[in-house]
Structure 1
């Protein structure tokens, strides 16, 4: 990224789940482009100004927004990135687990947006949600995760439709396999990590998996004024994986 690119000077951005993975890459990208960045998640963020947040608690989203405004006086960019995943077949998934997954992945972003709207109206701000290719298709044993991410895609469109006339835009990214620390650790724990890496590379037309920074680059663009005529869209970031038909 050219050093002169400072598209977020004098802007305040909140990134949920910004301490690791895709969220961290987004937070770094926005900061490098001039934004004042606050992250929100469980546990201390050693790099960014942060807010303690347990998004399974329905009161947390409003408290997080209030804290951001208290510290900075404004909000220009909201990145709903925090989430969870639980592997379980439908018959193994309790109602409590189902509701927790949907609350963290879908209800919490809804509550964050609802609390942030009065401040985003003032700044004509932008919202970018982290969806998933599993909101478009699904992997085995991911019923709750897939349903919640499909919901995020629908919520993204609804926000764009309802609030576009107020100058608020809302888009989403739908990442595929991204080399986060969590995914890399998963690979290393497989029986044959090298074979797994080769296999997963072959299912992508670009012949590799993605980086968090590649997702962050798109998120940053969608949050800028350069993307002023883009709203209600879901952008797949998966190296062409979902475009490729499987072999017989």
Structure 2
């Protein structure tokens, strides 16, 4: 990024799920603005200093935060971006799958925040959670995902209220249809990719789907000191989709 502002010089950021998609865009944006970035996810990250992590394991979050402090000595920004989605109707979803969705998408961020608070307190740090427009509304057969993201939005507000007096801020972004590798591959595998893409554009007032970099731009702003009077908010990044009423 030419002439990129440096809002995160001398700051350390942890981005979960930073190896691909929105997480990768966030990690790159924070690094471009001067941050020392560490990512955490199941696989190895060849671009960033990374920590292998299984977020279905309740012991993982504490280990990750301890490792970040061991490597970097401080933590200024926590981005809870790692997540999963399983499509199934309520009657078809097993309790095991339900609990795994809740564990990865909601319990893991809670445990990461809990472990990170002592260090964020020292740096007057910031938390940004990756929620979803499905935490505000629902698509078919996404009950577990919707519940987990709604819960993450609620956690965002609670952390903001409970820890704002300590100088810790917590916000969330709620992406809609974003052109991640996963979504691009899904469109390409459809019966008519061109029609699919055109229909996706029609549901957005801006006439197109979003990019991971557009989500990352908002995350960087919310994490930066210039957003110091913003906390406890959920920001849709959806091209106006949630605003547009469907036709009769």
Instruction: Please give the range of the TM-score, normalised by the shorter of the 2 chains.
Output: over 0.9
SS at structure 1 position matched to 2:235: strand
Provide Cα deviations, 1:27-83, integer angstroms capped at 9, x if missing partner. 000000000000000111010000000000000000000000000110000000000
Is the CA contact (8 Å cut-off) linking 2:130 and 2:174 kept in structure 1?
A: yes
Superposition TM-score, scaled by structure 1 size: 0.99
> 2 CA distance for matches of 1:221 and 1:201?
26
> 1 CA distance for matches of 2:52 and 2:3?
32
Superposition TM-score, scaled by structure 2 size: 0.99
Provide Cα deviations, 1:12-31, integer angstroms capped at 9, x if missing partner. 00000000000000000000
Alignment of 1:225-244 (within 5 A): 225-244=225-244
Matched, 1:164 2:164: yes
> 2 CA distance for matches of 1:187 and 1:227?
36
CA apart distance, 1:4 = 4.5
1:79 alignment counterpart: 79
**Which structure 2 residue ranges, 5 or more long, are not aligned?**
none
Alignment of 1:126-205 (within 5 A): 126-205=126-205
Structural RMSD (CA): 0.6
Alignment of 1:50-89 (within 5 A): 50-89=50-89
Matched, 1:120 2:120: yes
CA apart distance, 1:240 = 0.2
> 1 CA distance for matches of 2:19 and 2:78?
15
**Which structure 1 residue ranges, 5 or more long, are not aligned?**
none
> 1 CA distance for matches of 2:208 and 2:200?
8
SS at structure 1 position matched to 2:91: helix
1:33 alignment counterpart: 33
